[in-house]
Protein backbone atom coordinates (compact mmCIF):
# COMPACT_ATOMS: atom_id res chain seq x y z
CA UNK A 1 0.00 0.00 0.00
CA UNK A 2 1.21 3.52 -0.81
CA UNK A 3 2.53 5.36 2.23
CA UNK A 4 0.54 8.60 2.80
CA UNK A 5 2.73 11.69 2.25
CA UNK A 6 3.31 14.32 4.91
CA UNK A 7 2.03 17.83 4.19
CA UNK A 8 2.95 21.22 5.57
CA UNK A 9 -0.46 22.93 5.48
CA UNK A 10 -3.19 22.70 8.11
CA UNK A 11 -6.85 22.20 7.26
CA UNK A 12 -7.44 25.86 8.15
CA UNK A 13 -4.79 26.95 5.67
CA UNK A 14 -6.35 24.80 2.95
CA UNK A 15 -9.72 26.46 3.61
CA UNK A 16 -8.05 29.85 3.24
CA UNK A 17 -6.51 28.84 -0.08
CA UNK A 18 -10.00 27.84 -1.26
CA UNK A 19 -11.18 31.45 -0.80
CA UNK A 20 -9.20 32.59 -3.86
CA UNK A 21 -9.48 31.62 -7.48
CA UNK A 22 -6.70 29.63 -9.14
CA UNK A 23 -5.17 32.65 -10.97
CA UNK A 24 -4.69 34.35 -7.59
CA UNK A 25 -2.93 31.23 -6.31
CA UNK A 26 -0.70 31.37 -9.39
CA UNK A 27 0.18 34.99 -8.60
CA UNK A 28 1.41 33.92 -5.18
CA UNK A 29 3.15 30.79 -6.42
CA UNK A 30 5.22 32.62 -9.02
CA UNK A 31 6.78 34.71 -6.25
CA UNK A 32 8.08 31.75 -4.26
CA UNK A 33 8.93 29.11 -6.85
CA UNK A 34 12.12 28.29 -8.70
CA UNK A 35 10.13 26.50 -11.40
CA UNK A 36 9.53 27.91 -14.89
CA UNK A 37 6.41 30.04 -14.37
CA UNK A 38 5.59 29.85 -18.11
CA UNK A 39 5.53 26.05 -18.36
CA UNK A 40 5.31 24.43 -14.94
CA UNK A 41 2.64 23.43 -12.44
CA UNK A 42 -0.53 24.23 -14.43
CA UNK A 43 -2.59 22.67 -17.20
CA UNK A 44 -1.20 23.21 -20.70
CA UNK A 45 -4.38 22.09 -22.47
CA UNK A 46 -7.87 23.52 -22.04
CA UNK A 47 -10.05 22.14 -19.26
CA UNK A 48 -13.78 22.52 -18.66
CA UNK A 49 -15.26 23.07 -15.22
CA UNK A 50 -18.67 21.41 -15.10
CA UNK A 51 -19.55 22.84 -11.66
CA UNK A 52 -18.25 26.45 -11.73
CA UNK A 53 -20.92 27.46 -9.21
CA UNK A 54 -19.11 25.37 -6.59
CA UNK A 55 -16.08 27.66 -6.75
CA UNK A 56 -12.49 26.47 -6.37
CA UNK A 57 -11.49 23.10 -4.98
CA UNK A 58 -8.32 22.37 -3.02
CA UNK A 59 -6.92 18.99 -2.10
CA UNK A 60 -4.15 16.46 -2.40
CA UNK A 61 -3.86 14.33 -5.52
CA UNK A 62 -4.82 10.68 -5.55
CA UNK A 63 -4.11 9.26 -8.98
CA UNK A 64 -5.60 6.57 -11.17
CA UNK A 65 -5.22 5.42 -14.79
CA UNK A 66 -8.14 4.11 -16.85
CA UNK A 67 -8.67 2.75 -20.38
CA UNK A 68 -12.42 2.34 -20.89
CA UNK A 69 -12.06 0.97 -24.42
CA UNK A 70 -10.35 -2.23 -23.24
CA UNK A 71 -12.52 -5.11 -21.99
CA UNK A 72 -9.42 -6.93 -20.69
CA UNK A 73 -9.12 -4.61 -17.67
CA UNK A 74 -12.40 -5.95 -16.28
CA UNK A 75 -10.87 -9.41 -15.78
CA UNK A 76 -7.16 -8.64 -15.41
CA UNK A 77 -7.51 -7.75 -11.73
CA UNK A 78 -10.79 -8.85 -10.13
CA UNK A 79 -9.86 -6.96 -6.95
CA UNK A 80 -8.99 -3.70 -8.72
CA UNK A 81 -11.87 -1.65 -7.36
CA UNK A 82 -11.34 -2.88 -3.80
CA UNK A 83 -7.57 -2.32 -3.89
CA UNK A 84 -7.97 1.08 -5.51
CA UNK A 85 -10.50 2.21 -2.90
CA UNK A 86 -8.16 1.01 -0.14
CA UNK A 87 -5.44 3.24 -1.65
CA UNK A 88 -7.73 6.28 -1.83
CA UNK A 89 -9.02 5.79 1.70
CA UNK A 90 -5.46 5.59 3.10
CA UNK A 91 -4.37 8.99 1.78
CA UNK A 92 -4.74 12.24 3.75
CA UNK A 93 -7.54 14.56 2.74
CA UNK A 94 -9.10 16.54 1.40
CA UNK A 95 -8.41 14.66 -1.83
CA UNK A 96 -8.81 15.36 -5.54
CA UNK A 97 -8.88 12.34 -7.86
CA UNK A 98 -6.62 12.84 -10.88
CA UNK A 99 -7.59 10.49 -13.72
CA UNK A 100 -5.49 9.77 -16.81
CA UNK A 101 -7.56 8.26 -19.63
CA UNK A 102 -5.34 6.17 -21.92
CA UNK A 103 -7.98 6.33 -24.68
CA UNK A 104 -7.11 9.99 -25.31
CA UNK A 105 -7.85 11.63 -27.71
CA UNK A 106 -10.87 9.32 -27.97
CA UNK A 107 -13.60 9.46 -25.34
CA UNK A 108 -15.33 6.09 -25.08
CA UNK A 109 -16.47 5.81 -21.48
CA UNK A 110 -16.61 7.65 -18.18
CA UNK A 111 -14.99 6.68 -14.88
CA UNK A 112 -17.39 9.09 -13.21
CA UNK A 113 -21.10 9.15 -12.57
CA UNK A 114 -23.55 9.39 -9.69
CA UNK A 115 -22.38 6.23 -7.93
CA UNK A 116 -18.62 6.80 -8.16
CA UNK A 117 -18.95 10.44 -7.13
CA UNK A 118 -20.83 9.48 -3.97
CA UNK A 119 -18.40 6.64 -3.21
CA UNK A 120 -15.37 8.94 -3.53
CA UNK A 121 -17.04 11.63 -1.45
CA UNK A 122 -17.41 9.02 1.30
CA UNK A 123 -13.65 8.38 1.00
CA UNK A 124 -12.81 12.04 1.63
CA UNK A 125 -12.55 13.26 -1.97
CA UNK A 126 -13.89 16.68 -2.96
CA UNK A 127 -13.67 16.36 -6.73
CA UNK A 128 -11.80 15.17 -9.77
CA UNK A 129 -9.70 16.28 -12.71
CA UNK A 130 -10.13 13.75 -15.50
CA UNK A 131 -8.52 13.97 -18.93
CA UNK A 132 -11.58 12.31 -20.40
CA UNK A 133 -15.30 12.45 -19.68
CA UNK A 134 -17.85 12.55 -16.90
CA UNK A 135 -21.55 11.67 -16.95
CA UNK A 136 -24.48 12.17 -14.55
CA UNK A 137 -23.33 15.75 -14.19
CA UNK A 138 -26.43 16.88 -12.26
CA UNK A 139 -26.17 13.96 -9.86
CA UNK A 140 -22.45 14.55 -9.34
CA UNK A 141 -23.22 18.19 -8.57
CA UNK A 142 -25.90 17.11 -6.10
CA UNK A 143 -23.29 14.96 -4.37
CA UNK A 144 -21.09 18.05 -3.98
CA UNK A 145 -18.40 16.46 -6.13
CA UNK A 146 -16.68 18.95 -8.43
CA UNK A 147 -15.29 17.91 -11.82
CA UNK A 148 -12.94 19.33 -14.41
CA UNK A 149 -12.99 17.24 -17.58
CA UNK A 150 -12.77 17.40 -21.37
CA UNK A 151 -16.41 16.61 -22.11
CA UNK A 152 -19.54 14.71 -21.19
CA UNK A 153 -20.40 11.23 -22.44
CA UNK A 154 -23.24 8.73 -22.17
CA UNK A 155 -21.69 5.43 -21.09
CA UNK A 156 -18.99 3.95 -18.88
CA UNK A 157 -17.74 1.29 -21.35
CA UNK A 158 -15.13 -0.92 -19.58
CA UNK A 159 -14.11 1.73 -17.10
CA UNK A 160 -12.16 0.33 -14.16
CA UNK A 161 -8.98 1.28 -12.30
CA UNK A 162 -5.97 0.02 -14.25
CA UNK A 163 -3.23 1.39 -12.00
CA UNK A 164 -3.10 3.94 -9.20
CA UNK A 165 -0.80 5.78 -6.84
CA UNK A 166 1.66 6.71 -9.59
CA UNK A 167 2.41 9.89 -11.60
CA UNK A 168 -0.23 10.65 -14.24
CA UNK A 169 -0.42 13.07 -17.15
CA UNK A 170 -3.58 15.12 -17.55
CA UNK A 171 -4.14 18.08 -19.85
CA UNK A 172 -0.44 18.12 -20.76
CA UNK A 173 0.78 18.25 -17.17
CA UNK A 174 2.24 15.54 -14.95
CA UNK A 175 0.81 15.32 -11.44
CA UNK A 176 2.43 13.31 -8.67
CA UNK A 177 0.41 11.48 -6.01
CA UNK A 178 0.13 13.66 -2.93
CA UNK A 179 0.68 16.97 -4.73
CA UNK A 180 -1.40 19.91 -3.55
CA UNK A 181 -3.90 20.81 -6.28
CA UNK A 182 -5.95 24.00 -6.65
CA UNK A 183 -8.55 24.09 -9.43
CA UNK A 184 -11.49 26.12 -10.72
CA UNK A 185 -13.06 27.25 -13.99
CA UNK A 186 -9.73 28.68 -15.17
CA UNK A 187 -7.87 25.36 -14.91
CA UNK A 188 -5.66 23.82 -12.24
CA UNK A 189 -2.33 24.10 -10.50
CA UNK A 190 -0.32 21.19 -9.08
CA UNK A 191 1.96 22.84 -6.55
CA UNK A 192 5.56 21.55 -6.32
CA UNK A 193 6.05 20.18 -2.79
CA UNK A 194 8.92 22.57 -2.07
CA UNK A 195 6.59 25.55 -2.68
CA UNK A 196 3.63 24.35 -0.64
CA UNK A 197 4.59 25.90 2.70
CA UNK A 198 4.93 29.43 1.26
CA UNK A 199 1.87 29.42 -1.00
CA UNK A 200 -0.79 30.85 1.31
CA UNK A 201 1.24 33.77 2.62
CA UNK A 202 2.44 34.72 -0.86
CA UNK A 203 -1.05 34.48 -2.41
CA UNK A 204 -2.53 36.62 0.37
CA UNK A 205 0.24 39.23 0.01
CA UNK A 206 -0.10 39.48 -3.77
CA UNK A 207 -3.88 39.80 -3.59
CA UNK A 208 -3.63 42.62 -1.04
CA UNK A 209 -0.88 44.34 -3.06
CA UNK A 210 -3.13 44.45 -6.13
CA UNK A 211 -6.07 45.81 -4.14
CA UNK A 212 -3.98 48.46 -2.38
CA UNK A 213 -2.21 49.78 -5.49
CA UNK A 214 -3.26 49.35 -9.12
CA UNK A 215 -6.88 48.32 -8.56
CA UNK A 216 -7.40 51.14 -6.05
CA UNK A 217 -5.88 53.69 -8.43
CA UNK A 218 -8.04 52.48 -11.31
CA UNK A 219 -11.27 52.42 -9.26
CA UNK A 220 -10.74 56.03 -8.09
CA UNK A 221 -10.31 57.39 -11.62
CA UNK A 222 -13.93 58.51 -12.09
CA UNK A 223 -14.14 62.27 -12.65
CA UNK A 224 -10.39 62.76 -12.76
CA UNK A 225 -8.60 64.35 -15.70
CA UNK A 226 -6.82 61.68 -17.71
CA UNK A 227 -3.41 63.12 -16.81
CA UNK A 228 -4.17 62.62 -13.11
CA UNK A 229 -5.34 59.07 -13.75
CA UNK A 230 -2.16 58.23 -15.63
CA UNK A 231 -0.02 59.77 -12.89
CA UNK A 232 -1.89 57.79 -10.23
CA UNK A 233 -1.43 54.57 -12.20
CA UNK A 234 2.30 55.22 -12.60
CA UNK A 235 2.66 55.77 -8.87
CA UNK A 236 0.59 52.67 -8.11
CA UNK A 237 2.71 50.60 -10.50
CA UNK A 238 5.87 51.63 -8.66
CA UNK A 239 4.35 50.79 -5.28
CA UNK A 240 3.09 47.46 -6.59
CA UNK A 241 6.53 46.57 -7.97
CA UNK A 242 8.11 47.48 -4.64
CA UNK A 243 5.69 45.32 -2.65
CA UNK A 244 5.98 42.46 -5.14
CA UNK A 245 9.77 42.42 -4.78
CA UNK A 246 9.34 41.75 -1.06
CA UNK A 247 7.04 38.74 -1.52
CA UNK A 248 9.41 35.77 -1.58
CA UNK A 249 10.26 32.68 0.39
CA UNK A 250 12.63 33.22 3.32
Q: What is the mean pLDDT of the chain?
A: 94
Q: Say whether the peptide bond before residue 57 is cis (omega within 30 degrees of 0).
A: no
Concatenate the DSSP letters of all residues of 61-111 into one string: EEEEEE-TT-THHHHH-TTHHHHHHHHHHHS-SSEEEEEEETTTT-----S
Q: Report pTM.
A: 0.92
In b/e form, how buried is each residue of 158-192, taking b as 16+ CB within 10 angstroms?
A: bbbbbbbbeebebbebebebbbbbbbbbbbbbbbb
Quick one: pLDDT at residue 221?
82
Q: In the chain, what are the domain boundaries?
A: 11-192, 201-246
**Looking at residue 60, what is its pLDDT?**
98
pLDDT at 128 > cutoff 90: yes
Per-residue CA distances from 42 to 2, 66, 197, 207, 246 (Å): 25, 22, 18, 19, 24
Per-residue pLDDT averaged across 52-80, rounded? 95
Confidence check: pLDDT of 155 > 50: yes
Give the pLDDT band (50/70/90) at residue 223.
confident
Residue 146 is predicted with a pLDDT of 98
Rounded-to-integer distance, Cα 169 and Cα 112, Å: 18
What does the pLDDT look like over 69-109, one tens digit per residue? 999 998 888 999 999 999 999 999 999 999 999 999 999 99
CATH number, domain 11-192: 3.50.30.40
The DSSP secondary-structure symbol of 208 reads: H
**pLDDT value of position 220:** 87
pLDDT category of residue 6 using cuts at 50, 70 and 90: low
At 5 the pLDDT is 57
pLDDT of residue 28: 96
Asked if the model's pLDDT at residue 7 lies above 80, the reply is: no
Amino acid sequence: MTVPPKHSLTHSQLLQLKRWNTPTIYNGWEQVTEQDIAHSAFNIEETRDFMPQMGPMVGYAVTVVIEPSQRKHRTANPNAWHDYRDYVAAQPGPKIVIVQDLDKPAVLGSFWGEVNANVHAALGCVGTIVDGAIRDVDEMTSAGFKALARRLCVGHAFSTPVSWGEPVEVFGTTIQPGQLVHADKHGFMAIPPEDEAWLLEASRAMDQAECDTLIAAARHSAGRPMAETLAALREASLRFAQIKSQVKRP
